[in-house]
Structure 1
Amino acid sequence: MKRVVILASGGGTLAQAIFDARSTTLADVDIVAVISDQKDAHVISRAEAVQIESFVVPMMADRTQWDRELETLLGALKPDLVVSAGFMRLLSAKTVERFKIINSHPSLLPLFPGAHAVRDALQAGATQSGTTIHWVDAGLDTGEIIAQEKLDISSAETEESLHERIKILERGLIVATIASILAAQEKKNG
């Protein structure tokens, strides 16, 4: 069984999609833990509701110490894949070199990287947006693109409505991408 760790900072809707897929697409995946940087993140209660262990590694004044604590915890959990699902922190170069980490981002990268991708797409007058799953590197949404899914932006779109439509795409694409990556790892190793 492949070991997956989820990193998340907020409500956990992406994480919930991954949890739910364990009965279908991700049936042979063991989600060993959820790690958050926010002690009050709703993703923690979602994880607890489905008996997945959760850890909180709050940001520290000394960023190097935080990086080290996160890397140590990931090392102890021995993941085959780490999934950043709404984790709003950059990871250290050492961490991204040591672990296979993917991220889901609410834009068609390389367009609109960063925390305000949906707002930025609307302000730029984009006619399409979507979601990107990419490998995490030490940059801000600069890792190699694995998969993308597009949608058209309507003229009446608000930031909230567009973000909700993108989240629907993200949920399906992240689950499919996790399954694909783990199947490829299995094939390569065995």
Structure 2
Amino acid sequence: MSKVKAAVFASGAGSNFQSIMESSNLPCEISLLVCDRPGASVIEKADKLGVPTYVFNPKEYGSKQEFEGTLVSKLQDLNVSWIFLAGYMRIVGPTLLNAFEGKIVNIHPSLLPDFPGKDAIGQAYKAGVKKTGVTVHYIDAGIDTGPIIAQESVEVLENDTEETLKKRIQQVEHQLYPKVIQQIVK
């Protein structure tokens, strides 16, 4: 029996993409990396791992609806059932949401609902909290508001810098995301 197909959406370095790809017992086949930033280093990671890529520049489209429509067609052509956002720095719009309802998952570097949106680690660090963490959640029409699947805490240490905190959060992300994928994909 062939595995369920999934796509990973990423915009940057791709450390979560790589941790997903290196996970053993992945219950799905990652059949596409979608990247909205030509030149992002995640593209090179995908090439090295033999994962096909679809790279686009949103500025070349007339609207979000237009590029998301193109993405939906591409994903449906590949029989993709799940989308895993891994540092994808765009708000998912209704075109993608409706086509993959309940099948788009995101990882966010805070204990949601605290510190949604961009620079969650910086927000937590500047707020002086004693604890932050990682959340994996389903996507809905809001920003980091979808139903939470899993969370893991990361203590903010007295001698932490924003960079040391970020590294520890990423270590948790790299363990938690593949584990959640194994739990939810059937």
Structure 1 vs Structure 2: percent identity of aligned residues? 34
Deviations 1:101-138 (A, max 9, x none): 00000000000001110010111111101100000112
Q: Distance in 2 between matches of 1:97 and 1:64?
A: 12
Maintained 8 Å contact 1:57/1:70: no
Give CA-to-partner distance per residue, 1:24-59, whole Å, 9 cap, x none: 231x42110100001111111111101110011211
What is aligned with 2:57?
Answer: 58
The letter of the residue matching 1:25 is: N
Residues 124-163 of structure 1: CA deviation (Å, up to 9, x unaligned) = 1111011000001121111100000001101221111111
Distance 1:145 1:39 in 2: 31
| Cα-Cα RMSD | 1.2
Q: Which residue is 1:82 aligned to?
A: 83
Matched, 1:158 2:161: yes
Corresponding position: 1:2 with 2:4: yes
Which residue of the other structure, out of 135, 141, 144, is the alignment partner of 1:132? 135
Aligned to 2:45: 46
- The correspondence for 2:119, drawn from 116, 122, 125, is 116
Q: For 1:37-83, what per-residue CA distance to the aligned partner results, in whole angstroms no more than 9, with x for missing partners? A: 01111111111101110011211252332222222222222222110
Distance in 2 (alpha carbons) for counterparts of 1:37 and 1:77: 18
Q: CA deviation at 1:93?
A: 1.9
**Cα distance in 2 between the residues matched to 1:180 and 1:119:** 30
CA distance in 2 between counterparts of 1:177 and 1:8 reads 18
Task: Check whether the contact 1:57–1:69 (CA below 8 A) recurs between aligned residues.
Answer: no
Match of 1:30 in 2: 29
**In structure 2, what is the Cα distance between the partners aligned to 1:111 and 1:69?**
33
The whole-number CA distance in structure 2 between the counterparts of 1:91 and 1:112 is 18
Aligned residues: 180
Segments of 5+ residues of structure 2 without an aligned counterpart are none
SS of residue matched to 1:150 = strand
| TM-score of the pair, normalised by structure 2 | 0.92
Q: Note the residue ranges of structure 1 that are not aligned, 5 or more in a row.
A: 186-190
Mapped partners of 1:14, 1:143: distance in 2 = 20
1:115 corresponds to which letter in structure 2? K
Work out whether residues 25 and 176 of structure 1, in 8 Å CA contact, stay in contact via their aligned partners in 2.
no
CA distance in 1, matches of 2:131, 2:123: 12
- Give TM-score scaled by structure 1 length: 0.90
